[in-house]
A and B are shown apart, each in its own frame.
Chain A
Amino acid sequence: TQLLEQSPQFLSIQEGENLTVYCNSSSVFSSLQWYRQEPGEGPVLLVTVVTGGEVKKLKRLTFQFGDARKDSSLHITAAQPGDTGLYLCAGVPPEGGAQKLVFGQGTRLTINP
């Protein structure tokens, strides 16, 4: 069974600070996705990274896929209260495709004004 370990599980910081969330595994994934979920809503896909070493930027969010495709990170610059939410990483195993998406435990992020 492939597992994704996300850290930290909880993070509360002040507006304007920077932060990094990590998603680690001992297994290789074909691709890795990051979702953001707000209370009472479904997860919304932020980005998919496919190639080892790939870096993608979405405004103040920077996503990186490890060279060996076993880990990923999400870095937020100058966090804002609107960034508050549950961040989930999810890996697509080499076998099975998107139907066997493996989710990390999530990082609950709170940005205080």
Chain B
Amino acid sequence: DTEVTQTPKHLVMGMTNKKSLKCEQHMGHRAMYWYKQKAKKPPELMFVYSYEKLSINESVPSRFSPECPNSSLLNLHLHALQPEDSALYLCASSQTSRDRARKLFFGSGTQLSVL
């Protein structure tokens, strides 16, 4: 199994809603990532979890709250988002976070629209 599974694939939410994005991998990877990708732009790193501990937060607003319940799961909790937060949210995993040649496996993403 070399897949990173993200749910839901599409999400529309209002600015007062609370929702969660979910990500799952069963490759035994110990590093998991959240990226945000706006249309026609490259992915931007948001958070990195290494061995289930948050190791990088790229100054992301607190309306985005990551959670890593175990080594296979990664969540992103969303609350009081703004329309400019609409984007494709990508989850990725790698064997570890520091190996220079390790490949990142990306999920298909959640296309989020904030109304």
Contacts and interface: CB of A to CB of B under 8 A. Distances in A.
Given A42-B90, A106-B41, A101 B104 contact: yes
Interface residues of A, number: 26
A79 interface: no
B25 interface: no
Interface residues of B, number: 32
Interface stretch (A13-21, A44-52, A70-78): A44-52
A24 interface: no
A105 B99 contact: no
A42 B107 contact: yes
Contacts of A104: 42
B50 A98 contact: no
Given A41-B108, A92-B100, 7 more contacts: A40-B88, A40-B111, A42-B6, A94-B100, A97-B96, A97-B102, A99-B45
